[in-house]
Each structure stands twice: as C-alpha cells, then as structure tokens.
Amino acid sequence: MTECAKETGAILLDGRALATTQFEVLAQQVRARLERGTPCPGLAILEIGEDPAARAYVRAIVRSGERIGLTTRRVRLDAQVAPAALADALDAMAADSSIAGIIVQYPVPAPLMSTVMAHLPPHKDVDGILPLNAGLLLQGDPLALVPATPLGGMALLRHYSIALEGRHAVVVGRSTVVGKPMAQLLLQANATVTVCHTRTRNLPELTRQADILAVAAGRAHLITAEMIKPGAVVIDFGVNFVDGKMEGDVDTAAVAAIAGAITPVPGGTGPMTNVMLMRNVLAAGERLAQS
C-alpha cells in the first residue's frame, strides 16, 4: 500500500492528494495535445433553471477545467424552456466539434427529462447518464462513458494497491450514478459483489462480511463501527450536511478504529469526482478526433 497519513489505525485514502497529482497528469495531456496541434475540445455544462446547490457544483467543474486548460462552456436555459428548444440546444452541442462532452446539471425539470435523454449524444455523455452507456458498462465495453464518482472510488482503490480479486465487496446504495456503476466496476475487477438498499434485511450482517465496503446512501453516519469487519477498506461516497458540517455516510472517527483503510469526508471520494469527469471529457475528445 502507498505510504500515507494514518488516523486511529486506518490508512486514510487521500482523495485530495490523488486529485492534485491526477489533475497535473491531465493538464500535461492537454498541453501535449495542443502542442501537437491536435484540438482539445471542451465540456459544455447545460443548466436548466436555477438551483443554488447546482451553482456551486458548476463552479467547481469550471475550476477543474481551468486547472487542466480545458474549455468549459455554460449553457443556461430557462426552467420553462420548450422541449423543442431544449432539443435544438442539445442537437447544436452534438454537432459542435469544439465540444467533446456535455454534462446536464441536475435537477432537470421532470417534464424535460425525456428530451434530455433523447437528444444527449451518447458519445458526449461524459456523466454516463444514458442507458446506452450503462449498458456498455454492464457488458464491460471499454467505450462506456462511466459516471465519474464511482470511477473516482475505483481510482483510489487502485492508487492504494488494494486487492479486489476474489474479495467480498459490499455496496450500500443502488442509484444509477453511484451504487450500481460502482458495483459493476467492482465486479469487473473480479470482486464478489453484494448490493444493499433500503429493503435489504439485516444490513449490518452483510456489511460485516465486506472486505471492501462502498457506501452511497446519502444518510449521515449510517455505517457505524459495529458494522465493519476488522481491516476492511471503506469507501464513503456520502455527502451530507449535519449542523452545517459536511459528513459522509460513515461514522468515520469510530469506523477508522476498526477499518484497515478509509476515505475521509471531505477529502476522499469528492475531490476525485471532478478529476474523473475531466478524464471522461479528454477520452471523449480523443474519440471525437479519431471519428
């Protein structure tokens, strides 16, 4: 395992440090491409309506683009936009060779979701929200554009040389953006995977069997020390605000005394998400150039 900070026994899987080095790697790739005279198409961020929480996330994406020298373009539409106008905007982005990837910022007004799904081009779906990309992931196709958050969790496991083959991975959460793709990625890495959700009976019994426990439930402190197998690796995707403080889904302080390794919150999986989004944009851009 890579040398890293320790806290109450468990190795801290430092997403902030890994993100910093990974951003530099991506920045070098962008520079190299531009020096070769190869275009480096950027990211369009489609915002439909106003959402204060989304605004902060969009700012973070724009900053990530700046860190690696990649253009980001914000496209803002009114929440009342007509489906046909939304379709036109997406079709224009699909045809624009200066755009490699499109991220549609949530929340999308419910009546417009079907238009988004119908007009978002699969090869520019860098957030991996389309059924086609989910299906490619299911088939283990390397062309799949995979949601950035689980990719970040896997990058941390890889960076810290955590063995997955033949080990029991338990994923808590089955959303299409985190839980399910994380389970698929762990399966591809030859882990034996169990997926848990709100109807799971006796969650602690299952989490206690986990060599690798990945949690994406959106419930602060759902996972307590009694639910952990000694030495387990715990990946906490949760982002919850408790009394204004960011907390994960895991009771980090208590669990770190039992686990072998754990992602802190903040500073664990969060910083890796934008790195992996940028990596998806670069990969989509490379394929665009080859097509």
Binding site for ligand NAP (CB under 6 A): 149, 172-175, 177-179, 196-200, 203, 216-219, 222, 237-240, 269-270, 273
Closest CB 275 distance from ligand NAP, rounded Å: 10
Token pair recorded at residue 130: 């389309």
Convert 214-244 to b/e letters by CB count within 10 Å (16 or more is b): bbbbebbbbbeeebbbeebbbbbbbbbeeee
* Neighbour count for residue 66 (Cβ, 10 Å): 12
Q: Are 170 and 159 in contact (CB under 8 A)?
A: no
User: Minimum CB separation from ligand NAP for residue 179, in Å?
Assistant: 5
Q: Report the nearest approach of ligand NAP to the CB of residue 194 (Å).
A: 12
Residue 77 phi/psi, 5° resolution? -120, 150
Whichever of 88 and 226 has its CB closer to ligand NAP, that residue is 226
Q: Which is nearer to ligand NAP, 47 or 249 (CB)?
A: 249
In the complex, residue closest to ligand NAP by CB:
175
Least CB distance to ligand NAP at residue 200 (A): 6
Instruction: Choose between 56 and 84: whose C-beta lies nearer to ligand NAP.
Output: 56
Beta strands 99-104 and 168-172 are unpaired
C-beta closer to ligand NAP: residue 100 or 178: 178
Q: Output the CA–CA distances (angstroms, integers) from residue 155 to 148, 160, 161, in the order listed.
A: 10, 9, 10
Give which of 123, 69, 76, 73 is closest to 286, Cα–Cα.
123
Q: Are 99 and 93 in contact (CB under 8 A)?
A: yes
**Which CB sits closer to ligand NAP, 72 or 263?**
263
Question: Smallest gap, in angstroms, from Cβ of residue 199 to ligand NAP?
Answer: 6
Rounded Cα distance between 92 and 34, Å, is: 24
- Shortest reach from residue 269's CB to ligand NAP, in Å: 4
CB nearer to ligand NAP: give 73 or 221: 221
